[in-house]
Amino acid sequence: MKMGLMSGTDDRSGSIDAVVNFAKKAEAAGFDSLWMANIFSLDAIMTLATAARETKRIEVGTAVTPTYPRHPSAIAQQAVTAASMANNRFVLGIGLSHKMVIEDMLGMSFDKPARHMKEYLDVLMPLLRGEVVNYDGDQYSVHSTQIQVAGVKDVPVVIAALGPAMLKLAGEFSDGTNTWMVGPKTMESHIAARLNAAASAAGRATPRIIGGFPVVLTTKIDETRAALAEPLAIYGQLPSYRGMLDKEGLAEPQDMALIGDEAALRVGIDRIRDSGVTDFNAAIVASDDETYERTFEFLASLN
C-alpha cells in the first residue's frame, strides 16, 4: 500500500507557496503522493501542477475536483496541461460533489447524477487519450473535439465513488476511486468488492482504491476525538458520507479518525491495507504543530 498525504489540513492560509513547500517536504520524507481537495479556495489542478514543477518524484492528484461546474472538454485541457507540467505525475480525481453545493450554492441541477457522470466520462476519457470526440447525450453534445499535448498520452482518472452506480462507473471507465469517510469493513465489503467486480467485467486492470482518513498520533485520545467533532461534523450530515458511516456502524465522523499511539495507528493502517486500499491518504488533523510534526514523522517512517 502506497502512502500519501492530504494537503490543506495544515496550510489554511490559502497560499500556493504553502502547498508547494508541503509537496517538497512530503517528497523529501518519502511519501508517494500528495492530494488536494478543490473547495472554495485555490484551484486544486493549478496548484498541484505548480507544486509538481517544484518536485521531481511525488505523484500529485485532486481529491476531488467537482464535475458539474466544469465542462469535460475544459477539465480535460486543464488536466492534460497539469500532466505535462508534472511530467506525467498528475492524477485527475473527479466527483459529483453534493446537492447542497451544486443546487443550493451554485444554482445548477443535481438531477440524475449517475447519468451526468456517465456522459461526462464518455466525453472526458477519450479526450484525455488525445482522441477525437463526437458525442450526443442528454446532458452533453460534443463534436470534433480533440486535445493533444506533446509527451502526454493518457491522464489517470479516479472517481469519488461511494454508491453502487458510481462504483460501477468507476470500475468500468476509470482507474479507480478516491474515498473519504469509508471504514475498513465497508471498504472491503462494499467499495472494493463492487469496484473490482466492475473493472473485471469490463476487462480493465485492477483499480486503485485511494482511502482518505483523518489521522492523529497522540495519547490524548478522548480529548482529540472531542476536538474533531466540530470540524468533521459536516460529514455526518451529507447523505453520501452519512451512508458510509452507517454501513461501518459509526455514530459520528470523528469515530472514523485514526487516533492513538504508534501501536494503535499501525493496527488501524494494517486493517485499511487488508481491506483492499491501494493508496493510503492521510489527512493529519492535529491541533498543534508539535502533534502535527510527530504524526507526519510517524507516517513517513511507514514508507
With cut-offs at 50, 70 and 90, classify the pLDDT of residue 153.
confident
Q: Dihedral angle at the C-alpha atoms of 115, 119, 121, 123, nearest 10 degrees?
A: -170
C-alpha cell at 199: 473493472
Helices 113-128, 72-85: crossing angle, 10 deg rounding: 40
Q: What is the pTM of this model?
A: 0.96
Give me the mean pLDDT over the 186-214 stretch. 98
DSSP string, 258-286: EEE-HHHHHHHHHHHHHTT-SEEEEEE--
Spell out a b/e string for 232-259, using b for 16 or more CB atoms within 10 Å of the CB, else e: beebbebebbebbbebbebeebbbbbbb
158 forms beta bridges with 93
56-95 tens-digit pLDDT: 999 999 999 999 999 999 999 999 999 999 999 999 999 9
Domain ranges in the chain? 160-303
Q: Is the pLDDT of residue 206 over 60?
A: yes
Q: Is the pLDDT of residue 10 over 50?
A: no
Q: What percent of the chain has pLDDT over 70?
A: 98
What's the mean pLDDT when you consider all of the chain? Answer: 96
Count of residues making up the chain: 303
Neighbours of 132 (CB within 10 A): 12
Instruction: Tell me how far apart the alpha carbons of residues 124 and 273 are, in angstroms, rounded to a whole number.
Output: 31
283 forms beta bridges with 214
34-52 tens-digit pLDDT: 999 998 889 999 999 999 9
Q: Is the pLDDT of residue 13 over 90?
A: no
86-136 tens-digit pLDDT: 999 999 999 999 999 999 999 999 999 999 999 999 999 999 999 999 999
C-alpha cell at 171: 470500475
Instruction: Tell me how far apart the alpha carbons of residues 277 and 32 are, in angstroms, rounded to a whole number.
Output: 14
231-264 tens-digit pLDDT: 999 999 999 999 999 999 999 999 999 999 999 9
* Among the four given CATH numbers 3.20.20.30, 3.40.50.300, 3.30.470.20, 3.40.50.620, the one describing domain 160-303: 3.20.20.30
193 contacts 167 by C-beta, under 8 angstroms? no
Q: What percent of the chain has pLDDT over 90?
A: 94
With cut-offs at 50, 70 and 90, classify the pLDDT of residue 14.
low
C-alpha cell at 108: 445548477
